[in-house]
Structure 1
């Protein structure tokens, strides 16, 4: 019986040291998967929380895992990716106004309303501009990384960011009297 099968059998039998072994064996791999997926988009604490959630899910769902459909390693990687995507989607819901220069005299409406208007404005930029804008300002990706991910020249990424800021300012000036 392969090591993965033995480990899964111990997990199914509720052996406490089995989850400790799974954590020791799979944490480095899952950390690499998450780093490759997220880069610097989430703080270390969020990554640790995702890893904890993955192992809790493993403990709770050990009975339903079928190694004939794939490896335990692949299962854990898929669970980690799903948790990471959920975390990123939650993070996107909290768009910050810090990156957009507002005139000093501009009254800022309630935070949720303003964030909603800003998010809609960013999305109205269209592809690939909105993706570039989100990757740079919300996820903190470097221009080189964005260029590689979107297939756009780095100088074009810079230009799109600059023009995007101007477009956003114009959109927000007319949006519900935000500015």
Structure 2
């Protein structure tokens, strides 16, 4: 399925692959939706099943969650975390809602959820990402542009120098200065 959507199949699901799939889904690409379903349906279903303890109800939640993605793929905001984590939370919330509709007298807080995701680590990671974004925004324009080209576009120092017309040494100095600024921000 990946070949038909233009996405390469790798063993690790990356945020870039997820973003590309969501972009294709936004354009109505059914193959991209099938790929996303293949990648995350087990997570969504297992979370729903643990909460609901009913395979049929868990399948209903699974269908609801993926229909939500199909209808509005822009509902996921990549800056807030990973797609897998977001889907697990959405699945959990939908399952709890289903429990409340089904058994309103039972206390939902008493249900223990086992999760493969360490939400504390994910929250800490997100805080660090936001902190790094803030520091990057404060960098001088030349440093920020060069750093973004190197780390987000994956360009080599030589390629950056060719694209910008700056000397190779200047490119290296800008990247090093930007990285030192980031390091100071995180060690302070």
Give the alignment's TM-score, normalised by structure 2. Answer: 0.45
Name the structure, 1 or 2, with higher relative contact order (CA <8 Å, separation 6+).
1
Bigger fraction of residues in helix: 2
Give the alignment's TM-score, normalised by structure 1. Answer: 0.47
